[in-house]
Amino acid sequence: MEKIASFTIDHLKLLPGVYVSRKDNVGGSVVTTFDIRMTRPNFEPVMNTAEMHTIEHLAATFLRNHKEYGDKTVYFGPMGCRTGFYLLLAGDYESKDIIELMGELFRFIKDYRDEVPGASAKDCGNYLDMNLPMANYLADKFLREVLNNIEEERLIYPE
């Protein structure tokens, strides 16, 4: 069986960043999948499920309500390895095209102090597994260490 494209990326060289993971043609339109890598694979501890779940709820809500990207947002969700998230947008994009959006998103998460959207038994299958303070911390860390003054090496997958 052939390896899928995401398993061909050298995860020992991969830094936290914003990467185009793939582009797919769906019904004559392009869908761009982004790898929003928040921790360095195999070097840093992975994120716990509670903070990832909180980031997922906040990010999906923010993105689907965004004035420019709301109707282009196909999906935002966690990677199984717990080092980041996937964002799927309708359209043909490069990593640099969404840096401003990612800045808005992670500032929103960093500063969010209200009830997490969808964090109730009626709305979510695991609503108790949330950690807003840690989600705030991780969003701030990603902003400071990656998104603010992002470098080219954090926008294109390593060779």
Domain that holds residue 140: 15-148
Q: Tell me the pLDDT band of 157, cut-offs 50, 70 and 90.
A: very high
Calpha distance 93→80 (Å, rounded):
24
Quote the pLDDT of residue 83.
98
Tokens, residue 45 = 């501890």
| pLDDT tens-place string over residues 74-103 | 999 999 999 999 999 999 999 999 999 999
68: CATH: 3.30.1360.80
Q: Tell me the pLDDT band of 159, cut-offs 50, 70 and 90.
A: confident
- Assigned domain for 157 exists: no
Quote the pLDDT of residue 11.
94
Calpha distance 157→51 (Å, rounded):
25
- Assigned domain for 8 exists: no
- Residue entry with tokens 């339109």: 29
| pLDDT tens-place string over residues 15-63 | 999 999 999 999 999 999 999 999 999 999 999 999 999 999 999 999 9
Q: Which long-range contacts (CB under 8 A, 24 or more apart) does 113-117 make?
A: 116/54, 116/57, 116/58, 117/57, 117/58, 117/61
Yes or no: say if 92 and 34 are a contact pair by the CB < 8 Å rule: no
Backbone Cα Rg of the chain: 15
Our count of domains for the chain comes to 1
- Assigned domain for 138 exists: yes
For the CA atoms of 15, 143, 44, 20, what is the dihedral angle to 10 degrees? -30
- Assigned domain for 154 exists: no
Longest C-alpha distance within the chain, in Å? Answer: 47
- Assigned domain for 9 exists: no
User: Would you tell me how many other CB atoms lie within 10 Å of the CB of residue 18?
Assistant: 25
